[in-house]
Amino acid sequence: MSLVEVAGLTVAFGSLRAVDGISFRLDKGAALGLVGESGSGKSTVASALLGLDRGTGAVVDGQIRVAGVDVREASDAQLRRLRGGKAAMVFQDPLSSLDPYYAVGDQIAEVYRVHRRVSRRAARARAVQVLDRVGIPDAVRRCRARPHEFSGGMRQRALIAMALACEPDLLIADEPTTALDVTVQAQILDLLHTLREETGMGLLLVTHDVGVAAESVDEVLVMRHGHVVEHGPVAAVLGSPAEAYTRELLKAVPRVDARRTRPGDAEAPGGRTPGTEAAPGKTAQGAETARSAEAADVPLLEAVGLRREFGRGRRAFTAVDDVSFTIRRGETLGVVGESGSGKTTLGRMLAGLLRPTAGEVRRDGRAVTGIRPDVQMVFQDSVSSLNPRRSVGESVADPLRARGERDPAVRARVSELLTRVGLDPAHYDRYPHELSGGQRQRVGIARALAAEPDVLICDEPVSALDVTTQAQVIALLDEVRRELGLALVFVAHDLAVVRRVSDRVAVMRQGRIVEYGPADEVYESPRELYTKQLLAAVPSLDPDIAARRRAERREPATT
């Protein structure tokens, strides 16, 4: 008998069929990846395996057996024994999955006591044991820490430790690495692979990242609109996809070894540098300013010795330390590095949201401070950056009203901006929760463009989006850069995405730029060991290459 047996699974919410007739099996020790775009039904399938759809209004049909339990016919008590005991789930957002008020070790111990009926001391000892097993250093001490005291990667490890506490036969991982930088992502994927080898547990990995699937699973099941598009061994599906949709999905995946192409730049008239033409829709004064800056060859934006400290005395922490660079009109500077490297702090100083402790930001050769309309920011989290109580049209209208524009001119201009970023003007009266993640990110870009900026600071603008939506947003940003002559500062932990968009790249580590230069040069001939390590951690679409890299990453620990 297989560990997981699913036959004809259908999940409907009212008239919407989120999952439609899916069937698959998963044996002990095997790994299956559910891959597809947002809204394809991946997470709905994962939730149905543990009966998490109960009480949600979902109508479920078909057969689901997990570790010998008929999930649809099981009582609530049987499901409680299944969850955590025989099958466990690791969710995408570890911060919202862990209780902020309780120590991490206590939360793991509580799960263990529910299923094993042991003493508090034994449960606490088990918590330390599994934290140590997933690579949390000094587990005895760290088990007393609360979630906010852990980094993103450590919180994800803690969730995996909680899932492993009762030695389940099945681990369901729902987008476990989406918000992690490439090195931490590689560590988590290596950990899941090692645990599967050591314990013989089955792994169901839900992900929109095809590279993550290639690194982690034996078989892959590609989903679209609730249906199975393609299913087979990972090497066959990713190496020689039979279906057009799978080929499109693979084509949209950014590749760290692919040079950037800039469509349309070669056609710039009059021999001008691509992207330096006067921006359509801008004022004559703005275009004249642009021409003056170009004539003098003055950088559009310049960072000079930027430093930012947080805290005081012994607790002072330097987030950015002596960072300098320039950016000219029409070009894109990519800023990459691990979490905590100072990327976002740097972006906020450039946008005037943070005051530097030392150094200065220069605009057209002159030092500037504070928030300025000519430098705008597109934020990572499109949900929290938009007011949930206001329509998206009103959010886009804010910069227009701030400079004194009034209706009906405001509504007409917002409609133009929504159209410009690929949204229907009718979306004006919709609220953020009514839009998809990609649509909300487009709203954020429209709001930034409303101020007619010369520089866009994009802070992880596509990190939470699936690969096809990523490609659409990246293409949109490149399009507005070309047409409006903007400069982009693109901050991201995804090195493949950064290569796709950037002319030059700055690699940051512990607040400093450790490597800087043309993108192709940095990616193809990195000088610094740290840059080489980042590039080596990027997931490969070739399972054989992924296995070799995983083995290489293990070598230092075994010598």
Write out the DSSP string of 307-334.
EEEES-GGG-EEEEEEEEEEE-TT-EEE
132 in any annotated domain: yes
> Does the bond joining 408 to the residue before it have cis omega, within 30 degrees of 0?
yes
Distance CA 393, CA 410 (A): 10
Q: What is the residue-averaged pLDDT of the chain?
A: 85
Tens of pLDDT, residues 447-475:
999 999 999 999 888 877 888 888 888 88
pLDDT class of 136 with cuts at 50, 70, 90: confident
Distance CA 557, CA 559 (A): 6
DSSP states along 220-252: EEEEETTEEEEEEEHHHHHHS--SHHHHHHHHH
pTM of this structure: 0.78
512-521 average pLDDT score? 94
104 in any annotated domain: yes
Within this chain, do residues 358 and 469 fall inside the same structural domain, yes or no? yes
Taking 70 as the threshold, does the pLDDT of residue 350 lie above it?
yes
pLDDT at position 559: 37
Within this chain, do residues 432 and 358 fall inside the same structural domain, yes or no? no
Within this chain, do residues 401 and 464 fall inside the same structural domain, yes or no? no
pLDDT at position 297: 61
83-106 average pLDDT score? 86
State what percent of residues in the chain have pLDDT above 70.
92
DSSP conformational letter for 295: H
- Rounded to 5°, the CA angle 504-508-510 comes to 170
At 529, which helix (H) or strand (E)? Answer: helix 529-536
Within this chain, do residues 422 and 446 fall inside the same structural domain, yes or no? yes
Least confident of 39-43, 219-223, 357-361: 39-43
pLDDT class of 521 with cuts at 50, 70, 90: very high
pLDDT at position 57: 85
pLDDT at position 365: 83
Within this chain, do residues 292 and 343 fall inside the same structural domain, yes or no? yes
Taking 70 as the threshold, does the pLDDT of residue 285 lie above it?
no
pLDDT at position 187: 82
Taking 80 as the threshold, does the pLDDT of residue 293 lie above it?
no
484-513 average pLDDT score? 91
Within this chain, do residues 363 and 270 fall inside the same structural domain, yes or no? yes
pLDDT class of 292 with cuts at 50, 70, 90: very low
Least confident of 50-54, 144-148, 194-198, 276-280: 276-280
Within this chain, do residues 332 and 276 fall inside the same structural domain, yes or no? yes
Taking 80 as the threshold, does the pLDDT of residue 549 lie above it?
no
Within this chain, do residues 397 and 497 fall inside the same structural domain, yes or no? no
558 in any annotated domain: no
pLDDT at position 306: 96
Q: Domain count of the chain?
A: 3
Which amino acid, one-letter code, is at 65?
A: R
pLDDT at position 85: 85
Tens of pLDDT, residues 245-268:
999 888 888 888 877 766 544 433
Taking 80 as the threshold, does the pLDDT of residue 490 lie above it?
yes
Q: Return the bridge partners of 487, or none.
A: 455
- Rounded alpha-carbon distances, angstroms, from residue 514 to 297, 522, 529, 531: 26, 11, 10, 8
356 in any annotated domain: yes
pLDDT at position 91: 82
Strand order from edge to edge, sheet including 455-459: 375-378, 455-459, 487-492, 332-336, 504-509, 512-518
Distance CA 212, CA 236 (A): 16
Within this chain, do residues 161 and 134 fall inside the same structural domain, yes or no? yes
Burial of 41 (0-12, 13-18, 19+ CB in 10 A): buried
For residue 357, what is the domain's CATH number?
Answer: 3.40.50.300
Taking 80 as the threshold, does the pLDDT of residue 150 lie above it?
yes
372-399 average pLDDT score? 88
pLDDT at position 277: 36
CB 2 within 8 A of CB 169: no
| Token representation of residue 329 | 């009109």
Of 433, 451, 469, the residue that ends a domain is 451
Within this chain, do residues 363 and 496 fall inside the same structural domain, yes or no? yes
Least confident of 243-252, 263-272, 394-403, 432-441: 263-272
- Nearest Cα neighbor of 535 from 550, 548, 524 is 524
pLDDT at position 208: 85
Q: What are phi and psi of 202, to 5 degrees?
A: -85, 150
With tokens 């950016």, the residue in question is 327
265-291 average pLDDT score? 40
96 or 245, which is more confident = 245
pLDDT at position 16: 87
26 or 176, which is more confident = 26
CB 210 within 8 A of CB 35: yes
257 in any annotated domain: no
pLDDT at position 523: 93
- Nearest Cα neighbor of 209 from 399, 466, 484, 557 is 466
196 in any annotated domain: no
pLDDT at position 263: 52
241 in any annotated domain: no
Taking 50 as the threshold, does the pLDDT of residue 332 lie above it?
yes
Tell me the pairing of strands 4-13 and 455-459. Answer: unpaired
Of 105, 136, 167, the residue that ends a domain is 167
Within this chain, do residues 310 and 328 fall inside the same structural domain, yes or no? yes
Structural domain including 114 reads: 95-167
pLDDT at position 255: 83
Strand order from edge to edge, sheet including 219-224: 87-90, 170-174, 202-207, 31-36, 219-224, 227-233
Within this chain, do residues 314 and 344 fall inside the same structural domain, yes or no? yes
CB 88 within 8 A of CB 168: yes
CB 32 within 8 A of CB 221: yes
549 in any annotated domain: no
Which amino acid, one-letter code, is at 379?
A: F
Of 167, 197, 225, the residue that ends a domain is 167
Least confident of 306-315, 462-471, 508-517: 462-471
